[in-house]
């Protein structure tokens, strides 16, 4: 199975009222009886919708004007992501597995953008949520599934506060969470 830990930064909670601004993805694969982190992907996108929630923009730290000038056209970024997924999943008999930490947020933005541009979503309609997986594997409540709490519970390296909410950094950290949860021995 090839897992793709995906993180998105957006200008608000739901598409198409708000914009998908950046996408990060990190591959996790099984090797023998353990899971290993693989290649990563990153793209920043030009905004195409009018919505910009000030709170969401403060959290992600991305500058809308800079993205209008320098961001990649969304369709091109989605094509790049689909190509990355195909290449990284090559040789696998399984479909690529979308993984998110609060997957409903990230998957909804990715799925909407693929549909908006008439492109096939390389992940399909299924996904794995690491918050839910942590609840089951660790026997904890939903409120205890934050990355900060999982960092302690899973003995992960500390998060870099300067990089939190950068989609590629968050995707890679979420890959560490997935790896630890999948490799956890009962």
What is the DSSP annotation of 97-143? Answer: EEEETTHHHHHHHHHHHHHHTT---TTTT-EEEHHHHHHHHHT--GG
Q: How much is the pLDDT for 186?
A: 66
Give the DSSP letter of residue 178: H
Which token pair is 125?
């309609």
For the segment 9-65, what is each residue's pLDDT rounded down to a tens digit?
999 999 999 999 999 999 999 999 999 999 999 999 999 999 999 999 999 999 999
- The catalytic position among 35, 101, 109, 165 is 165
What does each C-alpha distance from 58 to 11, 63, 156 come to in angstroms? Answer: 9, 9, 26
* CA 63/CA 10 separation, integer angstroms: 11
How high is the mean pLDDT of the chain?
97
Residues 141-152, buried b or exposed e (16+ Cβ, 10 A)?
A: eeeebebeebbe
Catalytic residue check, 101: no
Q: For the segment 113-131, what is each residue's pLDDT rounded down to a tens digit?
A: 999 999 999 999 999 999 9
Residue 85, pLDDT score: 98
Among 12, 6, 14, residue whose Cα is nearest residue 116: 14
Phi, psi of 6 (to 5 degrees): -115, 135
DSSP 8-class letter at 80: H
pTM of the model: 0.96
């Amino acid at each position: 199975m090839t897992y793709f830990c995906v993180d998105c930064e957006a200008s608000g909670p739901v598409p198409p009222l708000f914009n998908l601004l950046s996408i990060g993805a990190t591959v996790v694969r099984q090797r023998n009886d353990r899971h290993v982190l693989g290649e990563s992907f990153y793209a920043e996108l030009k905004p195409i919708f009018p919505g910009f929630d000030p709170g969401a923009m403060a959290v992600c730290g991305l500058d809308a004007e800079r993205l209008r000038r320098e961001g990649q056209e969304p369709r091109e970024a989605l094509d790049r992501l689909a190509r990355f997924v195909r290449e990284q999943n090559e040789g696998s008999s399984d479909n690529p597995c979308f993984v998110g930490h609060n997957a409903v947020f990230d998957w909804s933005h990715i799925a909407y953008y693929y549909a908006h541009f008439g492109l096939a979503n390389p992940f399909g309609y299924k996904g794995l949520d690491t918050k839910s997986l942590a609840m089951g594997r660790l026997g904890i409540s939903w409120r205890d599934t934050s990355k900060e709490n999982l960092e302690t519970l899973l003995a992960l390296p500390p998060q870099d506060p300067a990089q939190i909410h950068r989609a590629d950094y968050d995707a890679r950290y979420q890959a560490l969470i997935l790896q630890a949860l999948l490799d956890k021995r009962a």
